[in-house]
C-alpha cells in the first residue's frame, strides 16, 4: 500500500516539474468561430508577442466543444488554460451537476473575462408573450437547446427547470451552433438557444434575413431570482436596441460570467505574467474583439466562482486590486 502511495506522489511531482519547465502553453477555448475561440486566439497572440521575447513563452488557442471538455483537459494536465462558464466551473469544484461524484482538484481561477448572455430566439408564432415561459409552447416541437453536455444544453436544463419548464418535453434537435441558425431560418426547428456575448453571429444573420419572423424571449426579475436559487451566477443583461439589424427595442435577458481558468500546477510566475500582459494591454485587446472590451481592472475578480490560482492572487495583491466577491460565488481563495 505504501509503495502505491509513494508511486502516486512521485507521479504527481514529475507532472508538477513538467509544468514548471514548459514554455508552450495551450488555451482551450470553444467551437471554432465562436466568441470563446476568436477571443482566445486574440489572447494567445498578445501573450506570445509580449512573453516570448523575454521568457520564451508561446501560447496557442485551440477550439473545443466547450466547458465540459476544457475542464476535463485541465484536470488531466493536457491543457494549461481554458475559457469556461462560471456554471461549469462551480459544478466542477463542487462535484455537482454534470460533474456529480467527479470533483475536480486542479481547477483554479485566473480571471473574469466577459458576460455570456442567454439568447433564446424563436419563431414569432411560438412567442405569445415574448417571455421565457413561452418555452412551454415548444413542448413536443423541435428546438435547438444544444449538443449533449455542452454549456448550451446544461444551462438550458437548469434555467428552464428553475422556472417549471421541462426541457425533457422539448424535442432537442441536437444541432451545433452554426447548424441551429440555419435550421431556424429554414423552419426545421421552432427556436434556438445560444449562450454567447451579443451580437451572436447566427442571430445577427436571422435579423438580417427574417426579422419579422423571429423574437427573443425575455426574463423578468422574479424569474432571475428563481434561476439563482441553486447556482447564484446569473445577473441581468440588456441587449441595447440596434445591436442587431432591424432591432428597434432593447432586449432584457440574463447572463453568467465566462472565466479564464488555469491548472493549479502551473507555476505562480507564469500565471502572474499572463495577467500582467493582459491588464497592461487592455486597449489593444479591446480593439481585437468586442467581448474583450468587458475586461477591465474593475472587473478582475468580481463574480468568480472558484479558487484563485496563487499567481493570480499575487498579481491582484501587488496591484492593489479591490476584491469584490459576492457571498456564495467564491468557494475560497487559493493563496
> What are the domain boundaries of the chain?
12-113+259-318, 116-256
Do 12-113+259-318 and 116-256 have matching folds? yes
Q: pTM of this prediction?
A: 0.87
**Cβ-Cβ contacts under 8 Å for 139 (sequence gap 6 or more):** 166, 169, 170
- Cβ(185)–Cβ(205) below 8 Å: yes
Nearest to 23 by CA among 55, 62, 60: 55
State which fold the 116-256 domain adopts.
Answer: D-Maltodextrin-Binding Protein; domain 2 (3.40.190)
Signed CA dihedral, 151, 156, 161, 162: sign only: positive
Question: What is the structure's pLDDT at 323?
Answer: 59
- Provide the 3-class DSSP secondary structure of residue 191: strand
Mean pLDDT by 10 residues, the chain (335 residues): 44 48 93 91 97 98 96 97 95 94 95 94 96 97 96 96 97 93 97 94 96 98 96 94 97 95 97 97 94 80 74 90 50 36
Residue 276 corresponds to which cell in the numbers above? 500582467
Question: What is the structure's pLDDT at 20?
Answer: 57
Question: What is the structure's pLDDT at 96?
Answer: 94
| Strand duo 214-216 + 191-196: pairing | unpaired
Note the pLDDT tens digit of each residue in 215-259.
999 999 999 999 999 888 899 999 999 999 999 999 999 999 999
Which is the CATH superfamily of the domain at 12-113+259-318?
A: Periplasmic binding protein-like II (3.40.190.10)
Note the pLDDT tens digit of each residue in 34-79.
899 999 999 999 999 999 999 999 999 999 999 999 999 999 999 9
Amino acid at each position: 500500500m505504501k509503495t502505491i502511495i509513494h508511486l502516486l506522489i512521485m507521479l504527481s511531482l514529475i507532472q508538477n516539474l513538467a509544468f514548471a519547465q514548459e514554455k508552450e502553453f495551450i488555451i482551450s477555448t470553444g467551437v471554432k468561430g465562436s466568441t470563446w475561440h476568436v477571443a482566445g486566439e486574440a489572447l494567445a497572440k498578445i501573450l506570445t508577442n509580449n512573453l516570448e521575447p523575454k521568457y520564451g513563452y508561446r501560447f496557442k488557442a485551440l477550439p473545443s466543444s466547450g466547458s465540459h471538455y476544457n475542464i476535463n483537459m485541465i484536470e488531466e494536465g493536457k491543457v494549461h488554460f481554458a475559457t469556461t462558464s462560471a456554471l461549469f466551473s462551480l459544478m466542477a469544484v463542487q462535484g455537482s451537476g454534470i460533474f456529480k461524484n467527479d470533483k475536480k482538484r486542479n481547477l483554479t481561477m485566473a480571471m473574469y473575462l466577459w458576460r455570456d448572455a442567454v439568447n433564446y430566439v424563436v419563431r414569432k408564432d411560438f412567442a405569445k408573450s415574448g417571455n421565457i415561459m413561452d418555452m412551454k409552447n415548444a413542448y413536443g416541437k423541435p428546438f435547438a437547446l444544444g449538443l449533449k453536455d455542452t454549456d448550451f444544453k446544461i444551462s438550458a436544463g437548469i434555467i428552464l427547470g428553475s422556472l417549471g419548464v421541462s426541457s425533457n418535453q422539448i424535442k432537442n434537435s441536437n444541432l451545433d451552433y452554426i447548424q441551429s441558425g440555419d435550421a431556424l431560418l429554414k423552419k426545421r426547428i421552432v427556436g434556438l438557444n445560444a449562450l454567447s456575448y451579443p451580437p451572436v453571429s447566427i442571430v445577427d444573420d436571422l435579423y438580417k434575413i427574417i426579422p419579422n419572423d423571429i423574437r427573443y424571449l425575455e426574463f423578468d426579475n422574479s424569474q432571475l431570482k428563481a434561476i439563482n436559487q441553486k447556482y447564484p451566477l446569473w445577473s441581468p443583461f440588456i441587449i441595447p436596441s440596434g445591436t442587431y439589424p432591424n432591432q428597434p427595442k432593447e432586449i432584457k435577458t440574463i447572463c453568467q460570467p465566462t472565466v479564464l481558468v488555469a491548472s493549479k500546477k502551473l507555476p505562480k510566475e507564469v500565471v502572474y505574467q499572463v495577467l500582467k500582459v493582459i491588464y497592461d494591454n487592455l486597449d489593444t485587446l479591446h480593439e481585437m474583439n468586442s467581448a474583450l472590451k468587458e475586461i477591465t481592472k474593475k472587473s478582475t475578480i468580481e463574480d468568480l466562482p472558484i479558487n484563485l490560482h496563487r499567481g493570480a492572487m499575487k498579481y491582484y495583491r501587488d496591484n492593489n486590486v479591490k476584491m469584490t466577491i459576492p457571498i456564495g460565488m467564491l468557494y475560497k481563495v487559493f493563496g
